[in-house]
Structure 1
Amino acid sequence: MLDIAEELHRWCLRAEPFAVATVSQVGGSTPRGPGAALAVDGAGTAVGSVSGGCVEAAVYDLCADVLADGRPLVRSFGFSTDDLFDIGLTCGGTVEVLIERIVPADRPEIVAFLAAAARRERVALVRPVADPAAGPGRALVVRPDHPDRGSLGAAELDRIAGDRARELLAAGTTGPLVPWPGHATRLLVESSVPAPRLLLFGAVDVAAALARLGSVLGYRVTVCDARPVFATPARFPAGVEVVVDWPHRYLATADVDARTVICVLTHDPKFDVPLLERALGLPVAYVGAMGSRRTHDDRLARLRAVGLDETRLARLRSPLGLDLGARSPEETALSIAAEIVSDRHGRSGLPLTGTSGTIHPPDRVRPSARPAPTRP
């Protein structure tokens, strides 16, 4: 429900029932992953999507049925070769959908989760899927360093599910969860985390174009430059943070994590070298620097001179961006954004016509620091 949390939060404030269909599990190539949702209110208004269009009409009708009778449903859709007009995914994958009626007054855990998710706070919602023994309406809200709210029906299940959900929340991962091997209850964990950061160093024309794309891709964008004449909010899209400071000094105190993307666009060794010296030592997702191949070679020599080893230098994406033949600032920004997306999903960045295999791969999941618990 994360992609429509703001709208659903407003629906909760209206205190009127609605039905929400949430993708609980997928297999093969699918347009949307676990957590994607379609919701329908009493007036028939629909928001969101569970399949990119393949089965939306059928899921809409099921939402209307659940809204009317209140009984939750779990339905699976897959590719059908028997009837070209049958309901299914033409992409060849399978998608399982959990459909529930939400009455805000009766579902305080859902209301609390949606309110926090709308504010982009770090919070997870755990719900049972396809368990005949689990009564409708059970949910657990999990936050870092806070007591869990709600219940899945059993204290031991709540404890283990809460611990496992915190691991997924720390990784920003949404998906199915089996509390322990052999347990009958399969759970869906939806993890809301603050937007990942895109740090652009150098208030240049490419930064302005990349800031727009970064915002569209869901990043919280910051532009930093030591030159106040260029680092002005008027030169950048609304909502972009603009900081006047030396880049390396700003990065020393910036809040970064494993999803953070850093792009160095300054082309000036006095900015680039101290900045990259610090950036390449941080546990961030991506560090790239713009410039020609000659600039790149010079930059590597300067970084080696200040003591960076080959392991750290190997993390640097430079020249940054995919080979699109970009000329304009907008085209250059597109090539950089494309590389960021391909890196995030572990893909090649090659044309799909020259590749094989699944077009929509499952999201890469950071492995748990602990093994799955055994049954108590």
Structure 2
Amino acid sequence: MKNLSTILQSISNWHSAGKDTAIATLVQSSGSSPLPVGEMMAISSSFDMVGAVSRGCVESAILETAQQAMQENKAVLTHYGYSNQSAFEVGLTCGGEIDVLIEPVLSSQHSTSFLQEALAKCDLDDPFFWLHPLDENGLGKKILCDATHILYSDEPIEPSFEDAILAHLNQGSPAAIVNLSLERDRITPVFIQAFQAMCRLIIIGAGEISIYLTKMAKILGFKVIVIDPRSMFASTIRFPEADTVLAKWPQDCMKELVLRAPDYLVVISHDEKIDLPALQIGLASDVGYIGLLGSLKTRQSRFDALLEAGWETTDLTRIHAPIGINIHSRKAEEIAVSILAEIIQVTNQA
């Protein structure tokens, strides 16, 4: 959700400067696509740009098309592929094909309500869906909803459309373009984007590695929480980028966090009194990743203590220890890189 917040805030700032804007969304891809479906970029009428829908392959063409879309106040669905005559000009040489929806968001329109609603959801880290109708009549309409009701629509929505949307969302996670069956046997294609709460990285231990880990994790869009009972280490002065810094024992604050499957727990205090309660709370939760810093000797010591506390050997298989991908790292910043590399690997393999 961080990337969306950056894009929407940029649009709001450009509007304040009197600039018109457009949003480009990657709605479909086939073959070798540089970026996943759902990636977005914002463009202003003075050619400012934030975000991307490819690795630079088609952005220049999108910039030009977006200017026309803003001038005409008309959304357009564009297709880019290697077989196009403009392939070399556009630079889509990976062999894939992509469809990009370009929607004008003019500063003179009633875009303020839309931006306020979407930004409010981002600020609250509250999950929501952004619907992009792709039929001729609906192209360019902006609709926001959660799993139970429509939050915003810039035009009235017919009941059959709302019913079809909510019925689809309640079936599970939406994916790319879906065809909704409406009344009178009508079929409407809609691209659905799901914006989930930010993944949280809970770091136990506020040593030097944690400082670098926090900086890098924020770049990747994590919400970072640092926990360490030693107040001289756990401070906002040492961790200005962290979302939350708690100078508390893990057992005194972690249960309130309610660890979820999308969360990541990194136990790197290198102190058994801090490590063990954090590991036990992690094992008792649905947290998707648990990593433990230390040598093989440290790992065995922690595992022995956990077994003595009543945990089963099968429970301990959830713990990545020693933490990180083996890149022969020695410096604190190198260890932080190896930890994040493993987290990325686990995430992308899920």
- Range of TM-score over shorter length: 0.7 to 0.9
Tell me, in whole angstroms, the C-alpha distance in 2 between the residues paired with 1:143 and 1:175.
17
CA contact (8 A) 2:133 2:191 kept: yes
**CA distance in 1 between partners of 2:14 and 2:309 (Å):** 56
Matched, 1:262 2:265: yes
Query: Structure 2 CA distance, aligned partners of 1:155 and 1:218?
Result: 37
Structure 1 position 227 matched with structure 2 position 248: no
Aligned ranges for residues 163-242 of structure 1 at < 5 Å?
A: 163-165=167-169, 175-179=176-180, 184-242=187-245
Structure 1 residue 137, shift from structure 2 partner? 3.9
- Find out whether 1:122 has 2:127 as its counterpart: yes
Q: 1:203, 1:106 → 2: CA distance?
A: 46
Structure 2 gap ranges (5+): none
Paired residue secondary structure (1:333): helix
Residue 128 of structure 1 contacts residue 138 of structure 1 at CA under 8 Å; is this kept in 2?
yes
CA distances 1:117-171 after superposition (whole Å, capped 9, x unpaired): 5524432211112x13x23443321135555432684312212213434676xx6
What does residue 159 of structure 2 align with?
155
Count of aligned pairs: 342
In 1: Cα distance, 2:246 partner to 2:42 partner: 39
- Whichever residue aligns with residue 159 of structure 1, its letter is D
Per-residue deviation, 1:199: 0.7
Q: 1:39 to 1:212 in 2, by over 3 A?
A: closer
In percent, how many aligned pairs have the same letter? Answer: 27
Aligned to 1:358: none
Shift of the 16–166 alpha-carbon distance from structure 1 to 2, 3 Å rule, reads farther
Change (3 A) 1:125 1:337: same
CA RMSD of aligned residues (A): 2.8
Normalising by the residue count of structure 1, what TM-score does the alignment of the two structures yield? 0.81
Distance 1:275 1:118, change over 3 A: closer
Distance in 2 (CA, whole Å) between partners of 1:238 and 1:148 is: 31
Structure 1: gaps (5+ residues):
347-363, 365-376
SS of the counterpart of 1:235? coil
How far apart are residue 113 of structure 1 and its match? 4.2
Residues 277-328 of structure 1: per-residue CA shift (max 9 Å, x gap) = 1101211221111111111122222212212123321111111100100000
Return the offset for 1:21: 1.6
Matched, 1:90 2:75: no
Contact 1:148–1:162 (8 Å) recurs in 2: no
Please list the CA deviations of residues 326-373 of structure 1 after superposition, one character each: whole Å capped at 9, or x if unmatched. Answer: 000000000000000111111xxxxxxxxxxxxxxxxx6xxxxxxxxx
The Cα of 1:112 is off from its aligned counterpart by 3.9
Give, as a single letter, the amino acid of the residue that structure 1 aligns with 2:323: L
Q: Is the 8 A contact 1:12 1:111 kept in 2?
A: no
